[in-house]
Structure 1
Amino acid sequence: MIRALMLLTLLLAAPLQAAIDLYQFDDNAQQDRFHRLTEELRCPKCQNQSIADSDAEIARDMRERVARMIREGRSNEEIVQFFVARYGDFVSYRPPVNERTAILWVGPVALLILGGLGILLLARRASRRVEEDDAE
């Protein structure tokens, strides 16, 4: 009975072991680069997860490609540019500043300024109403 239970436990644990990605590198520097790059690249399917955090098939493929390119001796910039060329600037958490990505850089600041102006105008309008009510 105990043997059957142990065998069942091992069979149920096998898929969990297969889900872990293990990559072999020549040294710790390559492994550190791999971890930095997989945190820096965004999963095209998940959109707000890095490829390190995503379980999507495309993220697994991207992690495998990053590991292969590191072993081939490619630079971090070459690796990021490969994925940007394939998936667009969105794949990088730090997209370059150019006309296509300007909204990503200017948009939040513009919204903050517009929101501040809106609050300022509402506050002025409210204070005028209070002054008018006090004058009556």
Structure 2
Amino acid sequence: MRFLPAILVLLMLSGIARAEVMAVYDFDTRAEEQRYRDLIAELRCPKCQNQNIADSNSPISKDMRDQVYRLMKNGATNDEIVGDLVGRFGEFVQYKPPVDKRTILLWGFPAIAVVGGVLIVAGVAMRSRKRDQGEPTLSQEEKARARQMLADKDQ
């Protein structure tokens, strides 16, 4: 029992020892490094679904980061790098797909939803206003009868 605290500490530290070391890439300028960071932040991991390759620890993300670095060192432009990865993994790896005939609904849906919502709210408001205007007011006789009923109820 006296070794139990020491064993627990060693078990907790073993997780730190197994931590994966991130690859370190050499860049000539800060601008190149920033360009690399921007590229890996805008590409999605095919395995992790909703993580970019900068944040993902999956092996495929590491391969993608390596490919981005290699292509940058070979002088490829951002469009060429993204095109290479899209050709290899599909359009899913792009967080911001280009606007074309296949993605027009994806890009247009937010505007369509907002316009539809405004039209629905306006229709409900107009219908409510018409209903309020159409209700008849009470006559003097009906008002007196209502007052009498409330007075009888209080007694």
TM-score normalised by L of structure 2: 0.69
The offset of 1:100, in angstroms, is: 1.0
**One-letter code aligned to 1:116:** V
Equivalent residue letter for 1:112: V
Could you tell me which residue of structure 1 aligns to residue 108 of structure 2? 106
In structure 2, relative to structure 1, the CA distance for the partners of 1:14 and 1:108 (3 Å cut) is: same
Structural mapping, 1:112-123, within 5 Å: 112-123=114-125
Gaps of 5+ in 2: 1-5, 139-155
TM score, norm. by length of structure 1: 0.78
1:37-94 per-residue CA deviation (whole Å, 9 max, x = no partner) reads 0111122333332211223332222112111211222111100111222333332233
Matches for 1:84-103 after TM superposition, within 5 Å: 84-103=86-105
- Tell me what 1:47 maps to: 49
**Cα offset for 1:104?**
1.8
- Corresponding position of 2:78: 76
The aligned residue for residue 17 of structure 2 is 14
Q: Which has the higher contact order (CA 8 A, sep 6+)?
A: 1
1:66 pairs, out of 31, 49, 68, with: 68
- Aligned counterparts of 1:131 and 1:56: Cα–Cα separation in 2: 64
Structure 1 segments unaligned to the other structure (5+ residues)? none
Aligned length: 131
CA contact (8 A) 1:89 1:96 kept: no
